[in-house]
Chains A and B, each alone.
Chain A
Amino acid sequence: MARAQTIDDIPTLPLTQAAYLPGEAFDEMYDGDGTPRAHYREMHKRLLTLSGEDLAERQKTLERSFLLQGITFTVYGADSATERIIPTDLIPRIIAAKEWSRIERGLIQRLKALNLFLADIYGPQQILTDGVLPRELVLGATSYRREMQNIFVPNQAYANVCGSDLIRGKDGEFAVLEDNLRVPSGVSYMLANRDAAKRTFPGTFRAANVRPVERYPDLLLSTLKSMAGWRSNPQVVVMTPGVYNSAYYEHAYLARLMGAPLVEGRDLVVHDNMVYMRTSTGLRRVDVIYRRVDDDFIDPLTFRRDSGLGVAGLFNAYRAGNVVICNAPGTGVADDKAVYAYVPQIIRYYLGEDPILPNIETFLCREPAQLSHVLANLDKLVVKAVGASGGYGMLIGPHASAKERADFAVALKADPDNYVAQPTIQLSTAPCLVNGHIEPRHVALRPFILSGEKTVVTPGALTRVALRRGSLVVNSSQGGGSKDTWVLSEGKSKP
């Protein structure tokens, strides 16, 4: 009888030790000795049986299905517009039940504290009086909206939908990289990726006992409705900047699955501080607006005057308490990158608890001592502009050229208040299909937290992938992709 083949004897299989050489970073699938971790065992076994052609075929089916469903974003060229699908990897990333329960508790704790923080700074500002954060750091942030001062927000839930970015460093511990409290996106990809993964790995999925994510739209709707508890059946709408927005697919998707109308600014009118939508039979009152339009553009009378995306008078209707805007305007101040450095203190201040999920060590360049440390260590640090997002306006020291670093140092010295720096984290890696081989790529995790009357975390997430070898930037605007995330159940998995 022939000896069972070792994986190295099967060169046609894409998952071979030779092809998969984990680097420095923590790997999600293999432990330090190269043995698959317990929660990855089923998936690992399955991957060993699939050839490169099998996987490529499945990848093609997945991409075709995304294109057909219209899960695309549009790239505008000089004279044409091309639709592309978001790069998607078919191998799911798996998280063990115990790890998830810590993440879940940590995220709920964090969002509760941040909502209390928002209620405080747009109210009595006790935390500033007590000197926990420098007053000018909060009130001087560009994302601070003084128009929100003393406005009643139901449930004190300012950020109803939050997508935090978590990363896992070399030590294998999850930490929060940033909070997204403005208009976080990506949840539709979480759901679309799940749908695809179920079709790609049905047997493995069943055996692994994965927790479902499909309730998200339903939870979102009840969160939004809980924001207008005084209306017996509040009319919820999703507000989109329109079909040219890169996240339009997601806006339409959520509206469809919630059964809520998808409106644009031009569909709404404000009369006597009430908001109405123009229906085919007349005007109809709107109670809750889940807006996917940035603060600046929601109301030209209050915010940017040159914006045509919003509704004139919307903010006054909000101030009068006749409509609820979700997320509340001004939540951006709590995900400001300088305020981020204080989140552990914010959690202790409002909840009297230690943070469950740690922050990444952050240097505030506004402090002269920290600035000189940052300037001396530019080649080791990641420097970010406080107001920016999406991977723009940042320097990754170890990957930058000497000239880029020198240029950035000039900008830094000119406006130190605008920058923070963090050590370069080797994000953990997970197996991805690259050119017919399974190779490790750096990943980050974006779970979604909903907060209304209650705060809940959907047991799943969008795993974002830096598809270029060695790259640490996972933003879709910078060549990142995504994959499904399986959160396993507590119970024993069924055979």
Chain B
Amino acid sequence: MMLARVADSLYWIGRYLERAEHLSRLSDVMLNATLDHTEAASQAAHIALSAVGDHDIARSAKPFEAARALVLDREDSNSVIMSLAQARENARQVRDQITTETWERLNLLYLKVTGDDAEADFSAGSSAWLHDIIADLHLFKGAADATMSHGEGWRFLMLGAYIERAQLIARLLEVCFGDGKGKKPTDHIALMSLLRMACALEPYLRVYTAEIEPRFILEFLLLNEEFPRSIRFSTAQMEDHLSRIVRPGDTAPGASPERLAGRLKARLQYADVEALQANGASALLSTVLDECAAIHEAIFETYVAYPLELRLPA
């Protein structure tokens, strides 16, 4: 049993932190790749910026400025700093529902990115700084996993994280494998950067060896059953968490979030790799994005903003 508002806040903490981690990693990989003045470098910058919806070609020529904006821009509600601030604000509102260990990880991270030294530290050593942010986010997840009861609250937290992750990876793949205009990455080093942006390079190498092929990357990030950042894995997690959250007796009109997640999971489970290669992944990727948006809506309607008349005692 938990307050609807609390469930909503925990869900958003999960989303914001996943977003912060992804943007930190994109920035880090982009900055690292663009140290070389090569074709691969500009491809990597293009992938990273397009994946966050920034199609301004001029920006990719100034990767450091672009990365600083992604990380530290307080005007942009999606930046790392604002995502962390919003996650922490949500955590403060549900402070009684999360463990002290979990809270302290997040609060520490928040104090670090909003501190007076943040700008200077980022400029002085952006790679080390971003590396620490990502490591701190992993510590948060570890603390949540190890100290919070794996009950409803924790499941809402996980749910937010996996929905966000599926969407972020889908957008990354859309840039590289969608129908949209713009050059597709072909360069070996650019493709390695793509894998790094999904934190997937090492697990990929275990499966496919150093043979880095666009179709394998697509297959791995979209359909791999075991890699925690693949869309299929994320969707399976969403369905699992939804199936274990107690459902209200009377369901609101519309599809239940669990059914939507199960349907998407099945689509990915039985997706035809040959057909994807023949016809392109664009259609499937936009289905993923649409379905994730629908699941998000359904969660809100079912658990948070349900109509009161359905739930009044008889």
Contacts and interface: CB of A to CB of B under 8 A. Distances in A.
Interface of A: 67-70, 238, 242-243, 248-249, 252-253, 255-256, 260-264, 266-267, 269, 271, 274, 276-285
Give the 4 A-B residue pairs with the shortest CB-CB distance, closest first: A252-B95, A256-B96, A255-B96, A282-B311
A264 B5 contact: yes
Interface string B1-27: 111111100000000000000000000
Contacts of A69: 100, 103-104, 107
18 contacts: A70-B92, A70-B103, A248-B92, A252-B92, A261-B2, A271-B308, A278-B4, A278-B308, A279-B3, A280-B1, A280-B2, A280-B3, A280-B4, A280-B248, A280-B303, A281-B303, A282-B306, A285-B313
Contact of A267 (B3, B96, B108, B111): B3
A81 to B, nearest CB: 11
Contact of A280 (B94, B96, B152): B152
Contacts of A278: 3-5, 308
A256 B92 CA distance: 12
A282 B313 CA distance: 9
B35 interface: no
Contacts, number: 88
Interface in B284-302: none
Given A70-B95, A252-B95, A280-B152, A271 B104 contact: no
A269 B308 contact: yes
Dominant secondary structure of chain A at its interface with chain B? mixed
B312 interface: yes
Interface of B: 1-7, 89, 92-97, 100, 103-104, 107-108, 111, 152, 156, 245-249, 303-304, 306, 308, 311-313
Contact of B4 (A70, A248, A256, A279): A279
A284 B1 contact: yes
A262 B92 CA distance: 11
B54 to A, nearest CB: 26
B285 to A, nearest CB: 31
B92 A243 contact: yes
Contacts of B100: 69
A271 B96 CA distance: 27
A243 B93 contact: yes
A255 B96 CA distance: 6
A312 to B, nearest CB: 13
A283 B313 contact: yes
Contacts of B92: 70, 243, 248, 252
B303 A252 contact: no
A252 B2 contact: no
A478 B93 CA distance: 27
A282 B302 CA distance: 10
The interface centre, meaning the residue of B4, B96, B152, B312 with most chain A CB atoms within 10 A of its CB, is: B96
Given A67-B111, A70-B92, A256-B95, A283 B312 contact: yes
Nearest to A249: B95
B302 to A, nearest CB: 9
Given A69-B100, A271-B313, A283-B311, 11 more contacts: A68-B111, A243-B92, A253-B96, A256-B97, A262-B97, A271-B308, A271-B312, A280-B2, A281-B1, A283-B313, A285-B313
